[in-house]
Each structure stands twice: as structure tokens, then as C-alpha cells.
Amino acid sequence: MDVLLDEVKLPSHLDRLTDTALDLRRVQGMVRVGPDVLFVILSGSLYKLTAERAVLEPVFDSVTRLWPADENCALVESEGALWRVDLDGTKGRLLTIPKGTISYDVKWGIRGLVVGALVDRREPVDPKAPYFYPATREKVTLCRYASIEGWHDLADVPEGCGNLSMCRYGRRIAWRESLNVIPEEAQRGEFYGFDLNTNEVRKLTEGVGKVGRVVMASDGSALLYEANHEAAYPITTHTDLWWLSWDGSEQVNLTEGGRCIARFGWGPREKTVWVSFVEGLEMQTEVLALDGTPEGTFGDLDAVSDIVWMPDGLAIFETEDAERFPAIWTGTRRVPLPQPENYEDLRVLEMEWEAPDGMEIEGVLYEADRLRGSAPLLVSAHGGPAAPVENVRSEVVRYRHLLRAGYRVFRPAFRGSLGFGDDFARSNIGCQGRADLEDIVSGVDFLIEEGLALKNRVGIFGGSYGGYMTLRALTVTDRFHAGVSLFGFIDNRRMTLETGDFTYETEYLEPLSWPITERTRGGDVFPNLGAIRTPLLLLHGDQDPICPLSESKVTCRALEALGVPVGLVVYPGEGHGFRKEKNRRDSARRTLAWFLNYLPP
């Protein structure tokens, strides 16, 4: 076990598959330049696409964001600055992005560059100085840059603001303000705006519950925003897309509830909107009138990127499904994205089964070609739990190292998942780690009946709620023979009090009360932690504000004292999830090595 923790050794053909350079390239941004040319960001590199030629031509690397400018150029963020990029690939530096920038938007007009930004100018905290609870909510600065005026401060706003959006000339700005500066599972907030005509901050919404993005209309007369307007169940109520006039006199719910919104934006001339959402396991895209009336779809194609509208009204977007990998749809043909490797040997299969209480459950199974029937099955439990599971081909590449090593990977959309309506999303309230775990176990049993798994050859892994589900499964069942928990948790009450986020416990269990009731404690791992006898690997960041590192430390120490094969790997500087490429690769290598050792193919 020490070798697995200190020095991970994998066969070279499997080790290379953990390299993040082999991740699937995806569209990260796309804008139109001229009548038929687009600039596209693919995994940090800028490409030019001519709709008529349907060929992606590289322009330059190290690009993180992209905005439309005029018929001859686009604006990009690269290496901490904004650049103008012309059609021929010539680029010119325009502006250094201010240090401490939290969120910003960029426009280009007849007077040049306009930038609206939220900037944190606070001095770095002295790590040796005392700090206090509860912390005072501090301020950040809303500011604006114009080529002929330079930078000007507009207002001080509370920390926790983000997702800034501007109208065409930056005269009106909207943003999201979180209700709590502490990361919340409920993601509650409101939307605010600033009007240069009045030089005042104004509250645009009231009581919108869980919030997502906001997008201004180009003329500043209206905005689109995502929220669920739900106070009692903000986590498990699907968000809607809303149209709101700037003065607040008109408001329209465009989507009418129950849909898991993935992305949205304005249609041609902002007379319509488009929205992509996950329904069941499938992605769907619709075009809606501004009163919510459906105006059409794109047939069997659905947008998994923002949509770019051409002058003739043609829609261009990235698309994929369960059988085809992502490509750019130009309106007449699919343009394949250049990928680092051929993944045609990896496929996804949709599964449906019945839980013990009769509830219909769905999920996806990933496998490689020519896989043996005796291959071990690894359950990938998703986080949230209010999150979707999608039946798309790109997801299979996330598990390439496991699949080509000889495993099948099963990702169930257990009760509590999004995309199946509000009732389904709320169906694990009060029964977490019990009814939803039964959904997983019954799914495994279904795969065994179908000849796709063996009873004594099953492992489980997952992050966040999936990490909790891994720990819970090893505690209360004997169905799994190896586990990897990534940034999971074992004690709801302690996690609530350590992080300061009360919304999770309030909605899924009950409002904070003493003594702790059976309803609150019933799904916890901690009381039965000593029941684990299965080899368990724990992976966690030391700066996780949502599921604290202490949850994994306690687990590791308890199992170590019991003589259970266990290890904990801590990633310095990482929060909830691993962002650094070296840590993402390291966690993939360690996960694969753990399963190869304790559940070999």
C-alpha cells in the first residue's frame, strides 16, 4: 500500500492515458468575424473557421476568453491582457487586465474598447495575523474602462458578486450578488445593475432563490437571467430562464420549470432566445419567443456550446450526442474538432432499471470495444446530488484510462439528480444514503442480470456527494470491493458548522436543531465508520471550503487504527475539486493504481 501512496507505478500504455493533454478538445468560445468567418477557442487555442470551407485553422495559443468586435476583428483574453485579433491573425495588445479582477465583460464600439469589471483591491491577508468569526463582508469595486476615458470607479459592492454582463456601449451593467459570501449548496442570490445615466446601483430582482447567469440585451433595455424563485427548496427546484425589462415593469418566465438549464442566450436581433437543457439523460435545445412560446428546434442537433448567429439567421454551434463526438455544426455540415487521440473504441450505453420501491431510474454505462464479460465494474457516483447525468459521447473520454485498463464504468442518475423534474430531484430529501444508494445497488444488480457485471467484481468512486456515496456504500453494504472517495464527507452536522453553509442540511435533512435527530443523523457515515473493511483511497484538497479536509482525515485515521487498507492524499492549494493539471493527472493515476491493485481486471 505504501508504494501506491508514495510512488505510483503504472504500465506505460496506461500511464500515458492519464495525461491531461489527451483530454477531449471542446469549444470554449466562438464569435463571428465578418459575414462568414468565425474565431473559435478549442482547449486554450484560437482557431479560424470559414463556414464555406469548413476547416479549422490554428491562429495562436494561450487564449482563455473571446468576444465579438466588428467585421474585421475579435477580442481575446490571453496571458493576462486583452488583445485585438484581425482576420489575418495579426494581434495587438489593448489593455492589461487589472490585478484582482473577479468578473468582467468586454464590448467594442465606434469609440473603441469598453470594459466593465468587478475588482478586488484588498491587500493580501497576513497569514500570521489573527482572524475572526463571523467575518465582516467586505467590498469590491465596480469599475469601467473606455478607450478615450481610461478607468473610472463606479461603486463599491459586496464581495461575492460575479457574472458581470454589459450592454453594447457599457452604459448599463448587470451582475449576480450571492446572498452569502460562504459557498452555498443553494447558491442563493439576487441580480443588481448599474446605470451610467443615473450613476446608481439598483436591485433588479427580489426573492429569486437559486441564481445562475445574467445576460444583458445589447441596447440595455432588458436582460435574461437564470433563477428558480424558490425559497423553501432552492437546491432541488430546477431553475428557469427569465426575461426582465431593465426598469422591472415587465417579467416573463420563459421555461416554466422542471428543466435542467445548461446554457442560454439571445437569438437573432434579440427577438428570441435559445436555451439548452438536460431532460432525462438527453440534451435538448429550443428557440423561444420572448413570451416563452416555442419557435423551433434544430432537429436532432442540440447545442452544447453558445450559439453564434450568422447574418442570414443561420445558427452555428458545437453539437454531440451518444453516438457522435463533439463537432461544430455550420448549418450545412459537421466540422470535426481536432483531437489528440482517436477514441472511437470507447462507447456509451443508456440503461434503465427499477429501484426496489418501483421508481424508474436511468444511467449510462461506459465501456471499450472487445471488453470481456468478466470485466470489473466501477460505479462513478456523481456529486451534488442535485446534478445531471448526460448520455453524450464526450463523457466517455473522462474515463479512458479506466476503460482501456479493462473496466466498465457505470454512472447512475440516482434519485435526487437533475433533469427528471422537481419531484425526482426532491425524492432523496430525508433519505440520503439510503434510497439513493438503493438506486445504485439495484442498478448494479440489473447489470449483473444483463451479464455486464459480476457480483464480486464491483468497485465505487466519486467526488463530493459522490465521495460521500462511496463512503456510505462501503459502510452499510458489502457490495463493493474497493473504493476511492474524492473530497467527500462523513458527518453532515459537523460539515455544516465547519463550513457555515446551513442550506444543505436545512433542505435535505431539517433545519439546525439540538439534540441531533435521527432524521439528521440517519444517513451519516461517521456513526458506522468502523464497519468499513474495504480498501479505501481518499483524495482531498487542503483548501476545500465545501467538504473540509477534516472529513477525510478523520476517515483515514479511523480506518488506519482498524487495520483497513487506507490512504489519504492531500493536494496543497486545491479547493473543492482539482484544478491544477498536475493534480488532476495525479488523482487519475492514483485512482487507477488503487483499483488495479485491489480489483484487477
Take residue 195 and report the three cell numbers written for it: 446605470
DSSP track, 342-387: --TTEEEEEEEEE-TTS-EEEEEEEEETT--TT--EEEEE-SSSS-
CATH 2.120.10.30 domain residues, the chain? 100-124+132-297
Q: Give the CA diameter of the chain.
A: 71
How far apart, in whole angstroms, are the C-alpha atoms of residue 191 and residue 594?
45
- The pLDDT mean for the chain works out to 95
Architecture field, domain 100-124+132-297: 6 Propeller (2.120)
CATH 2.20.25 domain residues, the chain? 26-97+309-338
How far apart, in whole angstroms, are the C-alpha atoms of residue 501 and residue 95?
38
Q: Predicted confidence band at 571 (pLDDT cuts at 50, 70, 90)?
A: very high
- Which pLDDT belongs to residue 375? 95
CA-based nearest residue to 341, from 295, 397, 289:
397
pLDDT of 1 > 60? The answer is no
Q: What pTM, to 2 d.p., does this model score?
A: 0.95
C-alpha torsion 437→349→327→43, nearest 10? 40
Q: Predicted confidence band at 5 (pLDDT cuts at 50, 70, 90)?
A: low
Mean of pLDDT values over 483-509: 96
CATH classification for the domain delimited by 2-19+341-598, as one of 3.40.1390.30, 3.30.200.20, 3.40.50.1820, 1.20.1740.10: 3.40.50.1820
* Chain-centroid distance, C-alpha 333: 29
Share of the chain above pLDDT 70, in %: 99
CA atoms within 13 A on the CB side of 59: 28
pLDDT, greater one: 591 or 256: 591
Say how many C-beta atoms besides its own lie within 10 A of residue 5's C-beta. Answer: 15
CATH 3.40.50.1820 domain residues, the chain? 2-19+341-598
pLDDT of 52 > 80? The answer is no
How far apart, in whole angstroms, are the C-alpha atoms of residue 444 and residue 380?
12
Share of the chain above pLDDT 90, in %: 90
C-alpha torsion 236→238→243→248, nearest 10? -10
26-97+309-338 under CATH 1.10.10, yes or no: no
pLDDT tens readout for residues 157-211 = 999 999 999 999 999 999 999 999 999 999 999 999 999 999 999 999 999 999 9
